[in-house]
Structure 1
Amino acid sequence: MAAEPGLGVVVGGGGLGLALVRAMRADPAYGRVILIARRVVEAPGAEVLIADVLDEAALDRAAETVAAAGPPTRVIVASGVLHGRGVQPEKAMRALSADALTEVLRVNAVGPALVARRLLPLMPRDRASAFAALSARVGSISDNRLGGWHGYRASKAALNMLIRTLAIEHRRTHPLGVCVALHPGTVDTPLSAPFQRGVAAERLFSPDKAASALMGVLDALPPEATGGFYAWDGAEIPW
């Protein structure tokens, strides 16, 4: 007998987050989809909850709504920052700024951890589930051969460690669940727009293509894969 459709949750209302919502809405495995975003966005077919990943009171309210909807079988945190007001990838150490470093670490590492604290315990204990946070290959310490992008690299490395640690704890109570970090590749969104020069056309993914790939990766991961770091094509990325 087929399992009842599950509950999907996406955190982050950017281009990739909205594409993940569309992918879940098109997948019969999900009967209901909730999007948690920091502002009102159009997400047809999904319930939109307003909460910033750094606003703990708002996250508490969002988690209460998710809990009332039932155990989420898939949660993907797609929030993050690469550039913006006062934040730009550093080309050299002379560009390092305490304020920018703190902001990037807060949004890219602290925020997903606060989400995980609230949503991981809600996931089912008796069926397969997946919690994922979008990381980046540049967060791999062993793969870092070019330097630069100090804050973004550090924030994603911190996120990777948090995911690994959360996965160990999560597995004790949710043996069928996975908790992983995912690298979506270079996705054609405003986040990557200033840095797409030199990216081969076949390596620049539309949001929908990236979302489909990530969903496929999560579908294929067994419980033993929990705590890992995986690329859009399913390949494991070294720490």
Structure 2
Amino acid sequence: MKAIVFGAGHGIGYSLSLYLSRIGYQVVATYRKKENASDLLSKSEIKSFQLDPLNQDSLNSLVDELKEIQFDLFINCIGVLTIKSSPEKNIRALNLETMEEVFRVNTFITPLLVQAFKKNISRKKETHFVVLSAKVGSIEDNNIGGSYSYRASKTALNMFMKNFSNEFRNLKIPCKFLSIHPGTTHTELSKNYLKGIKHTVWSSDDTARHIFEVIQSSKNYASGDFVNWDGSVLPW
């Protein structure tokens, strides 16, 4: 079994790479900044590549390097909460630069990856393409507002995933697309925003296990579904 994890330099992506390797997957992992990926680069059992998916030359280079491999599992863990000190709490805080960058990272990277690695997806056996979404991207569940860019970027990501599921079904390519909310996890992304959280904050190792458990039970979901870390289906 072969897996590729995008955004594996640290946090959930790193833990997922280790977990998948431990249970027998041949793992390819990508990272953006070498200085943030020292632990990953020390793992000889994981094949690591530097990748900036928003740079076409970088993306093309990796696609060419991996062109002969058909992966069973694709997981995109790349994401950002904000590029400012904190997510927008109100309309006054909205800023075009921030909104564009959050969407570039959280929303646009996934379609670029699906497009680039489409030939690495088997047309004969079931594969999975998974992204880390967020429960706050649920329109129905949004009763408090705030975090404008982050929420909207994840909502748009879910729509891309649903569209992919429809297109691949029409093409008769048995790839199941899942948007998974990983649960609140202690990572570099979240560590400054955990004060006052009353529910469980998971370690990235726990979260990696939860995500894989959802993938293992994918027969319970339709391609394109939005799924919570505990296996429940989330409302759009």
Shift of 1:175: 4.4
Equivalent residue, structure 2, for 1:3: none
| Contact 2:179 2:224 (C-alpha < 8 Å) held by counterparts | yes
What is the CA–CA distance in structure 2 between the aligned matches of 1:223 and 1:67, rounded to whole Å?
A: 31
Structure 1 residues 187 and 229 mapped into 2: Cα distance closer, same or farther (>3 Å)? same
What is the CA–CA distance in structure 1 between the aligned matches of 2:55 and 2:175, rounded to whole Å?
A: 26
Equivalent residue, structure 2, for 1:104: 102
| Contact 1:178 1:223 (C-alpha < 8 Å) held by counterparts | no
Deviations 1:24-65 (A, max 9, x none): 10112x2x2111111222321211111112112211211222
| Contact 1:134 1:184 (C-alpha < 8 Å) held by counterparts | yes
Unmatched 5+ residue regions in structure 1? 1-5
TM-score by length of 1: 0.91
The residue type paired with residue 50 of structure 1 is Q
| Contact 1:56 1:114 (C-alpha < 8 Å) held by counterparts | no
Shift of 1:223: 8.4
Deviations 1:176-232 (A, max 9, x none): 3211111000110011111111223x6100001000110110111028620111011
The residue type paired with residue 25 of structure 1 is S
Equivalent residue, structure 2, for 1:122: 120
Equivalent residue, structure 1, for 2:64: 64
Provide the identity percentage.
31
**Match status 1:183 vs 2:194:** no
- Residue-pair matches, total: 229
Deviations 1:146-199 (A, max 9, x none): 000000001001111111111111223354321111100011001111111122
**Match status 1:231 vs 2:228:** yes
Equivalent residue, structure 1, for 2:48: 48
Shift of 1:90: 0.5
| Contact 2:82 2:150 (C-alpha < 8 Å) held by counterparts | no
RMSD: 1.6
Equivalent residue, structure 2, for 1:27: 23
What is the CA–CA distance in structure 2 between the aligned matches of 1:76 and 1:195, rounded to whole Å?
A: 24
Equivalent residue, structure 1, for 2:75: 76
Unmatched 5+ residue regions in structure 2? none
